[in-house]
């Protein structure tokens, strides 16, 4: 196994490793596997996005590998009939694209998934990349004054915008309150935790007051200096850390097919 960084702000590629060799948690596999998992998890904490190229995975194998990080969680609005933990992302054209915005997944839940794992079955020749932005660096590079402001804030997150797209009732959409800056439960590092897609306002602030500060934070948190992109190839398995990374699905591939299997692993209540 070879682990190397692929961009300065975040991200590492794990080569010469078939993720199926790790088996499922609790398998009768050799004790080596715990060391391999520790190595991978350390790389995940250090680099926030891991890419495993050249995999050959069934839904069961993807779920087994992901389960080493914890329990799988279902998306509120979609899932495969036979594998409800897996969402099949397909290209339905730009107009119905629901992921072309900066966000951390499912922040409208009180305990959002700590990681999302995508496996590419079919990818465009060019385009259809996923962009990532490092929210630990984004937080660290705020001024001391702005840090002291955001450190004390909580924000409301809602899935109301998403509900409309899935023809669900926005009034019934899940919502949650989270700190605007969260501490990573494994590394202890602090990261900005807001996104244009789901954050509605700060708690005890009006929407208007919140909006001007949030607009600044949205611009700051996605500066080019914090970003890396992954250009997909079939067989790529990618996992990212929703606790400290924003992502954005770039739709620049027109109607070219792009089929990806997505799942999420449960995370702690942000604190």
In the complex, the smallest distance separating the C-beta of residue 87 from Fe ion, rounded to whole angstroms, is 10
Nearest residue relative to Fe ion (C-beta):
105
What is the x/- site pattern for Fe ion, positions 187-226, by CB under 5 A? ----------------------------------------
- Work out whether 85 is an interface residue with Fe ion (CB under 5 A): no
In the complex, the smallest distance separating the C-beta of residue 126 from Fe ion, rounded to whole angstroms, is 21
Residues of span 152-171 touching Fe ion by CB under 5 A: none
Query: Closest CB to Fe ion among 17 and 113?
Result: 113
In the complex, the smallest distance separating the C-beta of residue 92 from Fe ion, rounded to whole angstroms, is 15
Give the tokens for residue 94. 């730009």
Residues of span 89-118 touching Fe ion by CB under 5 A: 105
DSSP conformation letters of 70-104: S-EE--SS---SS-TT-EEE----GGG-S--S-B-
Where are the extended beta strands (E) located within the chain? Answer: 2-5, 12-15, 49-52, 72-73, 87-89, 115-122, 130-134, 154-158, 175-179, 181-183, 190-192, 199-202, 227-230, 237-241, 245-249, 259-265
- Residue 250: exposed, middle, or buried by beta-carbon count in 10 A (0-12, 13-18, 19+)? middle
Query: Closest CB to Fe ion among 55 and 104?
Result: 104
| Contact (Cβ atoms closer than 8 angstroms) between residue 205 and residue 194 | no
In the complex, the smallest distance separating the C-beta of residue 105 from Fe ion, rounded to whole angstroms, is 5
Distance of CA 112 to the CA centre of its chain: 10
In the complex, the smallest distance separating the C-beta of residue 174 from Fe ion, rounded to whole angstroms, is 15
Residues of span 8-67 touching Fe ion by CB under 5 A: none
In the complex, the smallest distance separating the C-beta of residue 197 from Fe ion, rounded to whole angstroms, is 8
Residues 6+ apart with CB under 8 A from 206: none
Dist. CA 228–CA 251, nearest whole Å? 16
Query: Closest CB to Fe ion among 54 and 164?
Result: 164
The continuous run of DSSP H or E covering 258 comes out as none
Give the tokens for residue 184. 């990573």
Query: Closest CB to Fe ion among 105 and 241?
Result: 105
Query: Closest CB to Fe ion among 93 and 152?
Result: 93
In the complex, the smallest distance separating the C-beta of residue 215 from Fe ion, rounded to whole angstroms, is 21
- Residue 255: exposed, middle, or buried by beta-carbon count in 10 A (0-12, 13-18, 19+)? exposed
Query: Closest CB to Fe ion among 117 and 142?
Result: 117
Query: Closest CB to Fe ion among 65 and 132?
Result: 132
Within 10 A of 225 (CB to CB), how many other CB atoms are there? 12
Number of residues that bind Fe ion (CB under 5 A): 1
Q: Applying CB under 5 A, which residues contact Fe ion?
A: 105
């Amino acid at each position: 196994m070879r682990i190397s960084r692929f961009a300065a702000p975040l991200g590492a590629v794990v080569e010469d490793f078939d993720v199926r060799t790790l088996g499922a948690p609790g398998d009768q596999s050799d004790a080596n596997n715990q060391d391999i998992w520790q190595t991978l998890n350390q790389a995940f904490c250090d680099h926030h996005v891991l890419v495993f190229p050249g995999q050959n995975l069934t839904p069961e194998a993807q779920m087994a590998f992901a389960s080493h990080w914890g329990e799988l969680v279902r998306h509120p609005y979609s899932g495969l009939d036979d594998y409800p933990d897996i969402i099949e992302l397909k290209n339905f054209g730009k107009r119905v694209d629901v992921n072309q915005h900066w966000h951390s997944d499912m922040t409208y839940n009180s305990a959002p998934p700590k990681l999302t794992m995508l496996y590419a079955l079919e990818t465009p020749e060019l385009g259809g990349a996923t962009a990532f932005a490092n929210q630990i660096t984004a937080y660290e590079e705020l001024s001391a004054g702005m840090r002291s402001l955001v450190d004390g804030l909580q924000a409301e997150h809602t899935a109301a915008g998403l509900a409309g797209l899935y023809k669900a009732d926005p009034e019934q959409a899940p919502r949650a309150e989270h700190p605007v800056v969260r501490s990573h439960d494994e590394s202890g590092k602090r990261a900005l935790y807001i996104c244009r897609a789901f954050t509605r306002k700060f708690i005890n602030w009006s929407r208007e007051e919140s909006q001007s500060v949030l607009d600044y934070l949205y611009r700051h948190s996605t500066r080019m200096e914090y970003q890396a992109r992954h250009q997909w190839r079939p067989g790529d398995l990618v996992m990212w850390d929703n606790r400290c990374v924003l992502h954005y699905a770039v739709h620049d591939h027109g109607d070219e097919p792009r089929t990806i299997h997505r799942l999420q692993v449960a995370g702690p209540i942000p604190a």
